[in-house]
A and B are shown apart, each in its own frame.
Chain A
Amino acid sequence: MGAELNGQPPDLCTPGDGGLCITCGDVAVPVRVVQVRGTEAVVEDEAGRRETVACDFVPDARVGDILLVHAGIAIGRAGTAEGKVEGDR
């Protein structure tokens, strides 16, 4: 449920070591939707890592949308399909 990044748990946050707190701070990650399954979406970040996130708060999310994800949950969108994610296949 969001914790799996290519089957691996995320690294332990290492403050100051390039490990910006993505969970509890005011930071959200832009990701591209590759699949929508009910209230969940499979998304891909710029490094090509995929995870499943809840998209209850962005109920009209579609494949290709760029969503902002924070703590495993989409909190908004950052645009639509023209956003190209590095690692696109």
Chain B
Amino acid sequence: MKYVDEFRNPELIQKTAEEIRRVVDPNRHYRIMEVCGGHTFSIYRFGLQNLLPDNIELVHGPGCPVCVLPMGRMDEGLSIAERPEVIFTAFGDVMRVPGRRGTPLELKARGADVRMVYSPLDALKLALDNPDRQVVFFAIGFETTAPSTALTLLRARSLGVRNFTVFCNHVLILPAIRAILESPDMRLDGFIGPGHVSTVIGARSYEFIPRQYGKPVVISGFEPLDLLQSILMLVRQLREGRAEVENQYTRVVSWEGNRGALQAMAEVFEVRPFFEWRGLGFISQSALKLRPEFVEWDAEVRFGVQGVRVADPKAAQCGEVLKGVLKPFQCKLFGKECTPEHPVGALMVSSEGACAAYYHHVYLRQAAGS
């Protein structure tokens, strides 16, 4: 398919990898964070680290919305799902995320009406088809996903649907990057910027990173050649002493973003004063909630959500992995108590989680080869 095949061309990939080796300064170490979980998945899937010189280290960032959702929010969602009048809907990724009393799938096995949806619009359709039930959509995701929730709420309002609510867990990527940049153990040299979040928010949004923190950003696509080109662009910037926002993913990402999507988000959501990120703690202005005009469709209001805080299992070191201080395999639980079949920490749940991606694409292969 156009836009896919040419970005997996082995010759071009090899050539780009050679160019990286040529440009890189052998006397320094490069720590580059890929912010987005989709990039983490591609890096492991295609074994890109193996094509890079040893002194380029890729650090996996917080860009998996499932992974950063604190367990307390999961518990609150599940307590809504347990209500007999509720049809609880969520994306497939959420279905295996553990709360204290199990996952949505386990809750379903115990009799709750839990359904997987592909789009929040499907949840709205369920509400239209089941007027005697309360349909709740467990909204999760970054700016890539928030517009779909916004559009669904705008439609719910215009259709006058009263048996549909959203439990909003949308988070914003830029405050998370800022929190990482402000972290005392921050040792990063540059960022591979998220591809599809940027489709919505635009490349311009990252300008604060070079301006205020002196770090380069290259927004990248998801194919192997995209990522290698982005790494090459970052290394070139570092080699030349530049710190700029560059856009490798120009076939998709514009400087300004998607104005319609941003307008819909602004109409429906407001920024929460603070929100807890699993592994990163509370980050101010980092998440969205429904505006007061949409209170009728706000599950937190309709079901009186209290705001429970649940500490992560102490032994899991998700926070250190999320900040790039530890590699997945350096966590004490990795591959032992914590596996994709029985995840203890959230990074092992989603395929975009750094630990699950590492487990499937590196750990199992190494185990099979030994």
Contact B92 A26 (CB under 8 A): no
Other-chain residue from B3, B36, B258, B351 in contact with A26 (beta carbon distance below 8 A): B36
Which A residues lie within 8 Å of B36 (CB)?
A: 25-26
Give, as a whole number of angstroms, the nearest-CB distance from B363 to chain A.
Answer: 11
Scan residues 18-67 of chain A and give those whose CB is less than 8 A from a CB of chain B.
Answer: 19-21, 23-28, 30, 46, 54, 56-59, 66
Give residues 122-151 of B contacting A (CB, 8 Å).
122, 124-125, 140-142, 144-145, 147-148, 151
Task: Tell me, in angstroms, the Cα distance from A60 to B357 when the chains sit together.
Answer: 37
| A75 touching B144 in the complex, CB below 8 Å, given contacts A3-B117, A16-B357, A21-B350 | yes
In the complex, A46→B261 CA distance in Å?
A: 25
Q: Is A26 within 8 A of B195, CB to CB?
A: yes
Taking the closest CB of chain A, its distance from the CB of B46, in whole angstroms, is 12
Given contacts A25-B64, A70-B196, contact A57 B260 (CB under 8 A): yes
- Provide the bound-state CA to CA distance between A66 and B2, in Å: 9
Report B1-57 residues with CB < 8 Å from chain A CB: 1-4, 36-38, 41
Instruction: Note all chain B residues with C-beta closer than 8 A to A21.
Output: 37, 64, 66, 91-93, 350-352
Contact A26 B38 (CB under 8 A): yes
Q: A68, B199: Cβ atoms under 8 Å?
A: yes
Contact at B121–A2, with CB atoms within 8 Å?
yes
Q: Which of A12, A16, A24, A57 contacts B261 (CB 8 A)?
A: A57
Considering the chains assembled together, what is the distance between the CA atoms of A57 and B41 in angstroms? 27
How distant is the Cα of A12 from the Cα of B105 in the complex, in angstroms?
11
Contact A68–B252 (Cβ < 8 Å): yes
Binary A-proximity of B300-322 (CB < 8 A = 1, otherwise 0): 00000000000000000000000
Q: Which residues of A sit under 8 angstroms from B140, Cβ to Cβ?
A: 24
| Pair A28/B199 contact, Cβ less than 8 Å | yes
Cβ–Cβ contact A27 & B93, under 8 A: no
The count of chain B contact residues (Cβ–Cβ below 8 Å) is 60
Which residue of A58, A71, A85 is within 8 Å of B148 (Cβ)?
A: A71
Contact of B196 with A68 in the complex, beta carbons under 8 Å:
yes
- B258 pairs with A75, CB closer than 8 A: yes
Rounded to whole angstroms, the CA-CA distance of A86 and B176 in the bound complex is 38
Q: Give the Cβ gap from A63 to chain B, nearest Cβ, in Å.
A: 16
- Contact check, B38 vs A27: say whether CB atoms are below 8 A apart: yes
- Within 8 Å of chain A (Cβ to Cβ): is B200? yes
Verify B200–A75 contact, CB threshold 8 A: yes
Which of A15, A58, A82 lies in contact with B350, CB distance below 8 A? A15
User: Which of A2, A16, A72, A75 is most buried by chain B, counting CB atoms within 10 A of its CB?
Assistant: A16
Given A20-B38, A23-B145, A46-B4, A71 and B93 contact (CB-CB distance below 8 Å) = no
A2-B121, A15-B356 as given contacts; A24 in contact with B252, CB under 8 Å: no
Contact between A9 and B1, CB atoms less than 8 A apart = no
Chain A, Cβ-Cβ closest to B120: A71
Chain A proximity of B317: nearest CB distance (Å): 20
Contact A1 B122, beta carbon cutoff 8 Å:
yes
Report which of A13, A26, A46 forms a contact with B144, defined as CB distance below 8 A. A26
B328 within 8 A of A: no
CB-nearest residue of chain A to B360: A16
Smallest Cβ-Cβ distance to A53: which chain B residue: B119
- Tell me if B199 and A79 are in contact (CB < 8 A): no
Known A-B contacts A15-B340, A25-B37; A82 and B92 likewise in contact (beta carbons under 8 Å): no
Residues of B within 8 A of A (CB): 1-4, 36-38, 41, 63-66, 91-96, 116-122, 124-125, 140-142, 144-145, 147-148, 151, 194-197, 199-200, 222, 251-254, 258, 260-261, 264, 340, 349-353, 356-357, 359-360
